Structure 1
């Protein structure tokens, strides 16, 4: 089991252990839940309310609010947390990043999410558990984040990744950013590509040379997934939480509309 990613087999073994992880399903759970999983609504728990256009669509939640939610999900100070969703982890990556940013040291992303669990013949339920409230104490700043000025500096140095798809990139992006859609980190089955393939993908842009890397998307969700993928390879990427929605909300910021440089 890596410090970032957990497989279906590893999760099943952990859930059967004397100290199972807290399991969070990012989404409404309408398509079913892994038994024991608590549904988590991204919009109401993993983001705050913007106070201006330059905050972006999905600013970070207030830590006190996030702590209350985390306790209601059953998270305590010694908990291991596993997050997943029904879309290959691209939504659950936001939960991974926000919980790690708030100081939960052991958070893992289920490779392939609910689809991989079901494809392995594992059971799915519609029963929603009632967790015993936890006692976790959260604090901000445990992962690196960027504001718009720092994002511009990273882009100018060729170290800022745009995790959106190529069409969104072509329609408008931060000047100097590199198009590397996080969806392309996944295979057709929604699972992560193997580590060697991922390393080659990122190494093509010298992202493993020790220099700082930043990542953004439209509203700080897809980019959080890409940050998790990079972390699984040992690359520490700072997240521009406000992402392009914050950048484009400030009329002083320039916008580039050149195509994706690698034609992705």
Structure 2
């Protein structure tokens, strides 16, 4: 199996032969374009998560999967081609860039890697820093073919043998809910927060460590696994970790924000949170 990750050193050696996408993003904050222009991996093109990697909010949650044509055009505009490897990164531990990694693979790109350690690791490793806006050297020819990775929809979620909630423990327990209008979690889910996937230096734990981490939560690969989070974005971090551990996992794209749009769906834990 090819690792879903690429180290800063490997990216340094590959520059010029890969397409690099900068997917900086913060929940509730401005887009990452300004941060990109202040400093980025040379040649990397900024991609906006809200407008290019998600559809408008609605019954599908805060970040529904983008329309296929919209995503394909965004990737072509960023220079993505079918026959050229892609590397994605952010400055948020891979929590936003993982969305681009997953979407490209879901739509059929065969060679996509996530920069391990994200932007801080690139800088710490002595990687070159470019400033200003970056335009792709050429328009890409990427052809989106959706359906290449597994997903589960709302009507299937309660039947998933092992359902993983990737949110912070206090949100999972329903003790606090700073974003969505209802607190709690989907009944039957187990909690493996994205923060536990990483070592102190911000890079992913070893496959052996990840297998032990998920096994402790009852995720051992013997039964089908699906992952969700608040809006279907950061859940991919757990999917990356599970892939490193050798455990395939599906994504519930609507996640918690989509689940609670139907008041008839069951909720475990408190049933109200911050508006």
Q: By the TM > 0.5 criterion, same fold?
A: yes
> Retained in 1: the 8 A contact 2:41–2:129?
yes
Match of 2:186 in 1: 174
Question: Matched residue of 1:161: which SS?
Answer: strand
| Within-5 A mapping of 1:2-21 | 2-15=2-15, 20-21=17-18
| Within-5 A mapping of 1:94-109 | 94-109=99-114
How far apart, in 2, do the equivalents of 1:124 and 1:189 lie? 20
Q: How many residues align?
A: 250
> Retained in 2: the 8 A contact 1:100–1:107?
yes
Match of 1:68 among 73, 76, 80: 73
Alignment pair present for 1:186 and 2:198: yes
Match of 1:139 among 136, 145, 158: 145
> Retained in 2: the 8 A contact 1:187–1:193?
yes
> Retained in 2: the 8 A contact 1:83–1:109?
yes
Alignment pair present for 1:224 and 2:227: no
CA deviation after TM superposition for structure 1 residue 206, in Å: 4.4
> Retained in 1: the 8 A contact 2:208–2:245?
no
Spell out structure 1 runs of 4+ moving beyond 4 A.
Answer: none
Match of 2:254 among 238, 242, 246: 242
Match of 1:47 in 2: 54
Alignment pair present for 1:34 and 2:37: no
Match of 2:263 in 1: 251
> Retained in 2: the 8 A contact 1:87–1:190?
no
- RMSD of aligned Cα (Å): 1.6
CA deviation after TM superposition for structure 1 residue 233, in Å: 2.2
How far apart, in 2, do the equivalents of 1:168 and 1:94 lie? 21
How far apart, in 2, do the equivalents of 1:133 and 1:75 lie? 7
How far apart, in 2, do the equivalents of 1:148 and 1:169 lie? 18
Identify which range, 189-198 or 131-140, moves more after superposition.
Answer: 189-198
After superposition, the C-alpha distances for 1:20-49 in whole angstroms (9 at most, x for unaligned) are: 111001022515211111111100100012
Match of 1:127 among 126, 129, 132: 132
> What is the TM-score of this pair, normalised by structure 1?
0.90
CA deviation after TM superposition for structure 1 residue 81, in Å: 0.6
> Retained in 1: the 8 A contact 2:192–2:217?
no
Match of 2:178 in 1: none
CA deviation after TM superposition for structure 1 residue 91, in Å: 1.0
Match of 2:157 in 1: 151
> Retained in 2: the 8 A contact 1:36–1:128?
no
How far apart, in 2, do the equivalents of 1:206 and 1:174 lie? 16
Check 1:236–1:209 CA distance in 2 against 1; reply closer, same or farther (3 A cut): closer
Identify which range, 249-258 or 175-184, moves more after superposition.
Answer: 249-258
How far apart, in 2, do the equivalents of 1:149 and 1:142 lie? 20
